[in-house]
């Protein structure tokens, strides 16, 4: 089990072992599909009573029993007609549907004991080779991912070559649970998402809104430093524009539409059209280029309900979106500038990252020549900088290839955030031009890019990356002031007022409660500095500061703490 391919074979074999166990325990179950995935495997089942967590324990126990029997796993190639007959007689309607969509005259099936499945394979030689596995959770899944089809029950699991590797992964999952942004979002009172409002629609609470403000303020300042000009576009644009751009033909399943005064409009899923209209509003000279337009633009996308996930996948979100219009000879430098921007931003948040180039998808616009040219330029820039990258075939934007930046968080997970897209097609469709040195009209190139990406998604990633323990410069509450008795209430209020006047994000807990309770609650809220004032501190006009990371500082003045937090803000600590 030294390669990903070998691990995939083990995990796919384990999914068959699970289906085997399910069929023995629940003979009326109909089986659907059971592939390996990056983190393990799953299998979809049609079972009207549904499964419970207690059922998972029974299934896992039966899997161990079947594994110990070391049952041979045998592959056979049979006629498709014979396979259809066999699965029809067994009542396996999903296997029959899969077979009916296979063009080959022959198919392969795998048998282990009483269980036979339609499968390309390959598999391990026997069930005894499957030693370390765990069933993880249940979910709903529409057959073939289509909401019009029946909802099936999906059982997720994972498998590894040995118990030590499995235990390491299960420990990792426990850490993931602790960092889950949905749980921490509730505990830190950052945001909420409710069915009453609508799936995938985020409401920011005061702490979350302040966190978002801090990120957006950081973004605005960084863009101004790099020569970007701020623009703002409307949320709806006439449908004719979306047709002209190609969004209607290639992206409309992700869009919302409305009608006003008998005119059709599209609610924007991207900000690029407004930026194009800004460019078109004046005659442009080569001296004007490059033009870098930036917008914290809120967009809406029709995501399927099954993929919505806290802040990480929502239906309305704000992008740190920019579009750069430049001459072809400026492309390399502009792409390099964006990569440098990404590098600087990721360093601030302590992210490692990887890059990949995503190529032309099936649904796309533009000429073959322009696509080849754009892909070549992206590769040349990364190769010239010695930046390693993978090729992600067919996952580019419909108007151009892109460099995608995959962040690595504190526990090694990868997240897609930043992207750089090279577009020759939309300038052509909208007849964009500039007047060159020779007085002739020429076509600019358009770069679409985000640095943090969707603000909602990035906040979700940050919550999990930091485990809710934001650095001081990003903490919605940087310091909380706590009195020991009512005698110090006025003194604590003066400290609070001084901090607020100096721009420190402070809070105060004046309750007549035990200090230990106040400290415990502040620790749960992950506040960096806990300011304690008792009789001794009041008399000496000092404070005791308890640190979130542990330890405390005695006999500190409020002014000294204010200066320390200013330094944290300055150096983004």
- Cα–Cα dist 123/24, whole Å: 20
CB atoms within 10 A of CB 248: 17
Q: Which of 62, 247, 272, 423 is catalytic?
A: 272
Distance, in Å, from the CA atom of 569 to the CA atom of 348, rounded to the nearest integer, reads: 12
> Does the active-site annotation cover 205?
no
Cis bond before residue 435 (omega within 30° of 0): no
Catalytic residue among 44, 284, 313, 319: 319
439 — phi, psi (to 5°)?
A: 80, 5
> What residues pair up with 42 in beta bridges, in sequence order?
156
Helix segments in 478-573, DSSP class H? 489-501, 515-524, 535-540, 558-570
Cβ-count burial of 375 within 10 angstroms (0-12 exposed, 13-18 middle, 19+ buried)?
Answer: buried
Pairing of strands 229-230, 291-300: parallel
Q: What is the largest CA-CA distance in the chain?
A: 92
> Which two tokens mark 322?
């920019």
The Cβ of residue 2 has, within 10 Å, a number of other Cβ atoms equal to 7
Token representation of residue 340: 């440098």
DSSP E strands, 359-461: 389-392, 402-408, 414-423, 434-435, 441-442, 445-454
The CA distance from 216 to 223, in Å, is 10
Q: Which of 247, 284, 448, 457 is catalytic?
A: 448
Paired sense of beta strands 389-392 and 352-358, if any? parallel
The active-site residue, picked from 402, 449, 518, 526, is 402
Rounded Cα–Cα distance for residues 136 and 115 (Å): 23
- Is residue 402 flagged as an active site residue? yes
Q: Which of 276, 255, 254 is nearest to 266 (CA)?
A: 255
- 422 a catalytic residue: no
The active-site residue out of 117, 321, 370, 409 is 321
**Directed axis angle between helix 80-89 and helix 93-100, to 10°?**
160
Q: Taking Cα atoms as reference points, which of 199, 459, 449, 202 lies closest to residue 303? A: 199
Question: What's phi and psi for 201, nearest 5 deg?
Answer: -115, 120
User: Contact 482/522 with Cβ under 8 angstroms?
Assistant: yes
Those residues with Cβ within 8 angstroms of residue 77's Cβ, 6 or more apart along the chain or in another chain:
106, 107, 108
Q: Judge whether 35 and 8 are in contact, CB under 8 Å.
A: no
State the catalytic residue, choosing from 12, 323, 525, 526.
323
Token code pair at residue 166: 């499995």
- Residue 26 φ then ψ, to 5°: -135, 80
Burial class (CB in 10 A: 0-12, 13-18, 19+), 304: middle
Question: Which residues are part of the catalytic machinery?
Answer: 272, 301, 319, 321, 323, 402, 448
């Amino acid at each position: 089990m030294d390669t990903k391919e070998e691990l995939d074979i083990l995990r796919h074999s384990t999914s068959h072992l699970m289906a085997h166990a399910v069929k023995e325990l629940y003979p009326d179950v109909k089986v659907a599909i059971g592939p390996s995935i990056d983190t393990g495997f799953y299998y979809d089942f049609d079972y009207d009573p549904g499964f419970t967590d207690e059922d998972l324990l029974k299934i896992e126990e039966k899997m161990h029993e079947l594994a110990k029997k070391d049952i041979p796993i045998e592959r056979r190639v049979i006629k498709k007609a014979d396979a259809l007959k066999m699965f029809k007689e067994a009542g396996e309607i999903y296997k029959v549907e899969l077979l009916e969509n296979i063009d080959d005259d022959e198919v392969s099936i795998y048998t282990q004991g009483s269980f036979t499945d339609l499968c390309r394979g390959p598999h391990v030689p026997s069930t005894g080779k499957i030693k370390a596995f765990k069933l993880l959770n249940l979910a709903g899944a529409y057959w073939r991912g289509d909401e019009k089809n029946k909802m099936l029950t999906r059982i997720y699991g994972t498998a590894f070559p040995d118990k030590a590797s499995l235990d390491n992964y299960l420990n990792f999952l426990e850490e993931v649970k602790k960092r889950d942004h949905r749980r921490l979002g509730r505990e830190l009172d950052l945001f909420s998402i409710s069915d009453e409002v609508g799936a995938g629609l985020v409401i920011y609470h005061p702490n979350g809104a302040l966190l978002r403000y801090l990120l957006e303020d950081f973004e605005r300042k960084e863009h101004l430093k790099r020569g970007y000009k701020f623009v703002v576009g409307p949320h709806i644009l006439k449908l004719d524009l979306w047709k002209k751009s190609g969004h209607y033909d290639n992206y409309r399943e992700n869009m919302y539409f409305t009608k006003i005064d008998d005119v059709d409009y599209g609610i924007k899923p991207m900000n690029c059209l407004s930026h194009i209209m800004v460019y078109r509003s004046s005659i442009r000279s080569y001296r004007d280029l490059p033009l870098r337009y930036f917008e914290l633009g809120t967009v809406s996308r029709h995501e399927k309900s099954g993929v919505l996930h806290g802040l990480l996948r929502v239906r309305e979100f704000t992008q740190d979106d920019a579009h750069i219009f430049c001459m072809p000879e400026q492309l390399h430098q502009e792409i390099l500038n964006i990569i440098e921007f990404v590098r600087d931003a990721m360093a601030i948040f302590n992210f490692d990252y990887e890059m990949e180039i995503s190529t032309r998808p099936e649904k796309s616009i533009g000429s073959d020549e322009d696509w080849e040219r754009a892909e070549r330029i992206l590769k040349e820039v990364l190769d010239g900088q010695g930046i390693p990258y993978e090729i992600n075939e067919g996952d580019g934007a419909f108007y151009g290839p892109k460099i995608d930046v995959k962040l690595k968080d504190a526990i090694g997970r990868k997240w897609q955030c930043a992207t750089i897209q090279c577009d020759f097609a939309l300038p052509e469709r909208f007849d964009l031009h500039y007047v060159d040195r020779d007085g002739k009209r020429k076509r600019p190139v358009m770069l679409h890019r985000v640095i943090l990406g969707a603000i909602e998604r990035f906040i979700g990633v940050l919550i999990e990356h930091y485990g809710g323990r934001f650095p001081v410069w990003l903490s919605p509450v940087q310091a909380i002031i706590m009195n020991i008795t009512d005698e110090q209430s006025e003194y604590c209020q003066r400290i609070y007022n001084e901090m607020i006047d100096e721009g420190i994000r402070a809070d105060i807990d004046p309750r007549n409660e035990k200090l230990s309770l106040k400290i415990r609650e502040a620790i749960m809220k992950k506040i960096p500095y806990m300011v304690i004032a008792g009789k001794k501190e009041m008399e000496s006009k000092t404070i005791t500061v308890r640190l979130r990371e542990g330890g405390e500082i005695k006999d500190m003045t409020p002014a000294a703490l204010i200066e320390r937090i200013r330094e944290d803000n300055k150096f983004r600590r």
